[in-house]
Amino acid sequence: MYNYKNVRPELESMGFRNLGAVYWNASTPMLYEEIIRRREGHLAHLGPVVVRTGHHVGRSPNDRFIVREPTSEEKVWWGPVNQGIEESRFTNLFYRLLAYLQNKDIFIQDCYAGADPEYRIPIRVITETAWHNLFARNMFIQMREKEEADQHIPQFTIINVPRFYAIPELDDIRSEAFILIHLGKNLVLIGGTSYAGEIKKSVFTMLNYVYPQESVLSMHCSANVGKKGDAALFFGLSGTGKTTLSADPERYLIGDDEHGWSEKGIFNFEGGCYAKVIRLSKEAEPDIYECTRRFGTILENVTLDQNSRRIDLNDNSLTENTRAAYPIPHIPGAIREGVCGHPSNIIMLTCDAFGVMPPVAKLTDEQAVYHFLSGYTAKVAGTEMGIKEPQATFSTCFGAPFMALRPEVYANLFMKKIKTHRPTCWLLNTGWSGRPYGEAARIKIAYSRALIRGILSGDLDKGEFDQDPLFGFMIPRACKDVPSEILNPRVSASDPKEYEERAKRLAYEFVENFKQFGDRVPKGVKEVLNVG
């Protein structure tokens, strides 16, 4: 499990000195033993391990910085998302972190990002705790052979030390938590936060920097494939149904969150899933539900009865952002290889709280790029502190916090891919239609699933459509197992005049958001809305 003879020189070359035990590529059962022995978590009924992340129950975007250094300076999309930090600050904090780790045990997982062997990137995750190491083991692609591990030379290294805190005044950052990404050294430092998602998304950020420069489109989306080899991509922000709708018992799951699109097809970046599980339904989401009851799964901030050791997925007393991290083979029918061909359909999910967007709409290539760049959804009361009424939110490429390069890099690649491989592109609204949040019920998940079936079978594309005069997309008139009267919100709205006002307000927000891209977008994309 640990062997100084083979590993110490590698660590010393990075500056590690006087370490305690080094647990290198420990198996899942070994990490379980260490988690329990070190009191990092609790064993729950049927085998998952339950952990707490303390004060940080989600990502800390304001504490994330990219180091300003010569090799990446001209390429990074600098701004509120990609904040810069001087290299000297990074170096000073790194030296203090190395000093902190002296005489402490560490855990190391050597693994891969990228399921396609041609684009696979070797990574190393070094953690202070056993449970974060298990998280890395679950989320990334494991090595199966000892000989492979012995020859592993990481291209990316992530060092996760949640009990080490920054000094804001000294380090010139906002708080004691930090996520520092050095693209020149391919090195990430994470401290002051126990939220494991920072590990996953730091790797994603680096992949979003590297892959597009190799003409591989990196995407924040889920993917599945049918028995005939027809692949589908699902883009969507948190709460839109990306993970739920891609876990289809009639299809094979490629991955639930991060993928690349190469000249050969689609490939998963990861070897696991990181699903939101608050109020998870056994009936509506049976596959994911069963994963919360499996050995090897990590449950973050899920409530646990200390006597029965049974979990309560409905309890949000700690956070709405309860999570399960599990290996992708936990999902029945998941494709372990994590690769498939080019997509036949691309589905962009939104949860529209204003009741403007139809349950489904067909997009032209230009409209698809427009909505890809916009990344629209809406936040409703209860999703975040301070939100009392619906708010439109836009996240570039459905993943702005993780996009290291300028938006046009991803937009141009996306346009090239869809022009070459000709998938049919759709917008699917899982929120409210016709009437806004607070005045009507959310679109039933059964209807969303029926619309997905219609898309993937090709039946929906064969029907008749009406064009929306404002957004320009095409709205189907009928879909099996979906009431036709709800398909067009202009028809289902109780007050057509009031609906038109809501629609124009939302369209205006789209236009205002799109101004940030200027003229650096593919031809014809800016003109897809007819706002007059």
Instruction: Tell me, letter by letter, the H, E, C secondary structure of 374-405.
Output: HCEEEECCCCCCCCCCCEEEECHHHCHHHCCE
Label residue 464 exposed, middle or buried (CB < 10 Å: 0-12, 13-18, 19+). Answer: exposed
What is the Cα–Cα distance from 434 to 479, expressed in whole angstroms? Answer: 17
User: Which residues, 6 or more positions from 121, have their beta carbon under 8 angstroms from its beta carbon?
Assistant: 112, 113, 114, 155, 156, 207, 210
What is the Cα–Cα distance from 273 to 259, expressed in whole angstroms? Answer: 12
The catalytic residue positions are 59, 201, 220, 238, 242-243, 257, 323
**Domains within the chain, CATH numbers bracketed:** 7-214 (3.40.449.10), 227-239+343-433+441-517 (3.90.228.20), 275-330 (2.170.8.10)
AA letter at 44: A
Can you give the pLDDT at residue 4? 46
Burial 489-505 (b: 16+ CB within 10 A, else e): bbbbbeeeeebeebbee
Q: What residue has token string 């180091």?
A: 67
What is the sign, positive or negative, of the torsion defined by CA atoms of 80, 81, 82, 87?
positive
CB 369 within 8 A of CB 450: no
CB 491 within 8 A of CB 475: no
Interstrand relation of 258-261 and 231-235 (parallel, antiparallel or unpaired):
unpaired
Can you give the pLDDT at residue 469? 95
Q: What residue has token string 């949860």?
A: 351
Tokens encoding 168: 């804001």
Sheet with 323-327, side-by-side order of all strands: 42-43, 49-51, 298-300, 323-327, 272-276
pTM for this entry: 0.94
| Cα distance between the two ends of the chain | 67
365-374 vs 496-514: helix crossing angle, rounded to 10: 80
- Residue ranges of the chain with per-residue pLDDT less than 70: 1-8, 381-389, 532
CB 432 within 8 A of CB 443: yes
Can you give the pLDDT at residue 80? 92
Q: How many CB atoms lie within 10 A of CB 329?
A: 12
Can you give the pLDDT at residue 532? 62
Nearest residue to 261 via CA among 410, 455, 55, 104: 410
Can you give the pLDDT at residue 239? 80
Can you give the pLDDT at residue 5? 40
CB 160 within 8 A of CB 198: yes
DSSP class per residue in 195-206:
-THHHHHHHHHH
What is the Cα–Cα distance from 114 to 118, expressed in whole angstroms? Answer: 9
